[in-house]
Structure 1
Amino acid sequence: LIPMTPPRGHSFHLELDSAGHRPVRNFRVRVQLECTCTREQHGENMLCFLHHPEEELSSNQDPSLLDTLCTDSYLDVHKTARWFCQLVRAIWPALPQSHGWHLTLLPSRRSCQFKVTNGTESFRIEMLFGVRRDDSHVFVSSQTREAYTASTTWPETYAVAEAEFFGHIARQAPADSLHLKCLQFFARLQLGIGFSTYTMKTIVMH
């Protein structure tokens, strides 16, 4: 999960989608332009998106997030994933790994998925995107479990908070304790054996 933070001149505002009754809470991320005139006065080389003419902005500065990654002022998952994949493709030739590994981008609308191979080994990597809720470890993410999810919908996820919690428990547990051995066992246990993620989490928590 890649945490996303708003660039200068922008702010993120999470809005709960209350339509329907779903097991997972869905949000939309509204992107709002912020005044940066005071930064200009302090010598920062940035034009204010709110108070400069559009012609001046287009000729002297990159477009705002609203123009590149948003749909109707809301952060768009599909546009974000496509932009990040283009970025990965562009910077890959400059990385040392590109000399011995081959990069293949895989189709995905809500994440950046790619495969790297070197003839004998192959690794598949998926990068998800998330926006942090306040100062917590709870995020809204690009990952979804529903068959169809609108491109401006970001489901809530507790994956980071759960990882932090289990990491804390593992650090507190004695080296040879039963609790630690159970955590290590479930960490290595492959899903897809008939138990849902919710069931596995319930077993571990108990």
Structure 2
Amino acid sequence: MEILEIPTKNKKIDVHQGDLEFELKPDQTNFPFKIINIVVLAKMKFADAETKIDFDQLEKNIEVKRLNRFPCVLFKIDNISIILFKNGKAIITGLKKHEQINRIAKKMEKLLRNQGKLQFESLSTEIQNLVIMSRLGKIVNLELACLTLTNCLYEPEQFPAAIVKTPHGGTFLIFSNSKIIGLGMRSMDMVRKSLKFLINEIFENDLFINLNVEEPLEDPFDDDFFF
């Protein structure tokens, strides 16, 4: 029988291999996720801070859609939606990658200057919301999760997911089929910290339903969006 030499603090001891049991625990907190939407706030800087955009004039120059009961117009660039307000602020939504932000912002600035005939000094952008999706691969007991997790709300008659707020700033929707949607985060660092905290809490408290699933859950991810 093989003898193993085990180092200790002061000396080494010899034990038989069969006398030891090793429990290897996989890292359960580093789950892949993908970005499904980036919401960006764009701001035009006017020479006169009181400047308001004339939508009637803008509508003559570029194709925009008026939104009923809201003082804004909607237009698209490369299938990315942009909601423009009279004060020069705009919401850009539908982005999937960070590198799209500068490209869309430059096209937006060019469109509004050249075709829209708007006069402004600069255009700045700031991420307002990162929406991400991850998946645990196990069925979650949402009733137990709501009783166990802090800042958790679950009302199945109103919404099919448990809503959890983490101390790192993120809000997550946990569905019973193991899908997790995260929102309200503004940086990748916040995403990673919030998601890691949530998943660690779920595994530490064993908030799963043990079911015999014949086929594994489908992988919802595209390789391009893994982090």
Bigger proportion of residues as helix: 1
Bigger proportion of residues as strand: 2
- TM-score w.r.t. the length of structure 1 is 0.21
